[in-house]
Amino acid sequence: MTGRWERILSRYGQTITLYRQGQEEGTACRAFLQPVLEKGADFFQRQPTPLGLVRQDRWICLGGPDMALNELDGGYLAWGDQTFTVRSAQPVYLGEELVYWWGLLAVRD
């Protein structure tokens, strides 16, 4: 299953860079990054798009098994001109195999 996920990421994912705490040089990875879409009444942090309202402060990250989002130790992710900190990260398994990482990201100030 991991091989299929890696092929999907390499074809459709975005290139991001992981920066661990205290390291100047980052590690390039492929992942899916998407803004969190949700229903609610707090419109002050949202921007209208053709797909609906999009929060600009929280993003979802789905990355390969090599990303280990829980090991950044205060580091951050970079994509284009945006940088993100990891608020929450969970490994996702299929049986005993680590298939991908799920992460909730916050835009850095």
End-to-end alpha carbon distance in the chain: 37
CATH of 2-38+46-107, one of 1.10.8, 2.40.50, 2.40.10, 2.30.30: 2.40.10
Q: What percent of the chain has pLDDT over 90?
A: 50
Instruction: Summarize pLDDT for 8-38 with one digit per residue, the tens.
Output: 999 999 999 999 988 889 999 999 999 887 6
User: Of the ranges 49-58, 65-74, 92-101, which one carries the lowest mean pLDDT score?
Assistant: 49-58
The pTM score is 0.78
